Each structure stands twice: as structure tokens, then as C-alpha cells.
Chains A and B, each alone.
Chain A
């Protein structure tokens, strides 16, 4: 079964708008990671947030983590057409490095 699930499954926005996608997971974790996958390519690591962190920024990315709700969100500000991709969260139960990926959010940014 999936450790994480993203919501929404698909998202379409205009260039310049912000995109928010959410991830829910099932067990206690050491950290949560977000990845991007362009069509036909491998996954690219975007950002990692540890379980004792609540918010983290990297460029136009902002990630939040709520361990009490077992959820995370990824915000992409001022989106660009090049941000069009699928976005996945990945978590592993505490004490393991068996990272399981969620089902992904397909983001389409319209120019």
C-alpha cells in the first residue's frame, strides 16, 4: 500500500500563479522529500524537510510539514511553464530507509 498520497491528482494553472499540492502519509517519519518528474525522465530531488522542521524554503519552493496531521504541502510560487511536471512526496517509516513514493500530482502550467 502507498505510504504517501498526493492531492490533487492533477492541477492546471496559468503561468505566474501559485501551485499548491498536498501529501498525506501513514506512519511516523524521519523526513519527507519532494521530487519532480518530467515526462519520460527520472525523478529529481527538490527539497527535504526533517520531522522536527515545520517549514522550509528553496527558491520558489516552500514546503510545510505537520507531523500531527501526517501531512505536508508543497507551494510553487510564480509558476512557469517549465514547472509542468509530476510532483511526488516520499516518506519512510522512522528507523527505516524504505522510502515509498506517493501517487503524484500532475501539474500543468499554461503559458
Chain B
């Protein structure tokens, strides 16, 4: 089992550019979570999906952020246009259960995004 796989590991982009972060879930996991981590704000939950359906996107900071889950094993987080304040480490995590989670999350290694 390769775990949760995120790509790219590092991304440096110029302000105004579109950025797409990718996440591959563990086979059999049906819940997917996107988090953002910064020194100032810690770990913030952006959005989570259950069975490919977005359940709560109240943590998405602005309309510039969008997330999709086109199939059961893959998700993307897109920022368009990107801004320097979006610089952070973005993590996705998956879990085998949706309701009443009794299992911990499995986190990916994260994507370190730098917007200059």
C-alpha cells in the first residue's frame, strides 16, 4: 500500500497563476480531506468529501479555491488566481469511513506551495 500520494511535493509559482494540487487516496478509503498548514494559522480544514461528494467546504477561504473528486481515488485542489498569502503546505488525508470516524486519517506528505 503506497499510502496517500500528493503531487507535486513542491510548487513555486508567480502571483496570478493557476495552481493545481493533486491527491491519490488509499484504495478503499471513501473520505477525503484537504488541510492547509501555516505557522500563523496552524492546520486548517478546507474541505472534505465523502463518497466523492463534497460535504463541507466552509473552510475554503475564497472563491479562488475549488476542489473536485472526479472519482473514488483522486482529488484536485485548484487555486486560481494564486496570491502570496496562499503560500502554505497543503495536505490531503483519507479515511476508510465517512460517518462516525473510528479510524485515524492517513495523511499524504504534503505539497509546499510558494507564491511569489
Contact = CB atoms under 8 A, between A and B. Distances in A.
A25 B42 CA distance: 16
Contacts of A97: 31, 48, 50, 55, 95, 98-101
B51 to A, nearest CB: 12
Nearest to A34: B104
Contacts of B99: 97
B54 to A, nearest CB: 12
A45 B104 contact: yes
Q: Would you call the interface of chain A mostly helix, strand, loop, or mixed? A: strand
A3 B103 CA distance: 19
Nearest to B98: A97
Contacts of B104: 33, 35, 45-46, 48
Interface stretch (B11-19, B61-69, B80-88, B106-114): B106-114
Interface of B: 4, 31, 33, 35, 42-43, 45, 48, 50, 55-56, 91, 93, 95, 98-110
Closest 4 CB pairs of A and B: A45-B104, A42-B107, A101-B43, A43-B107
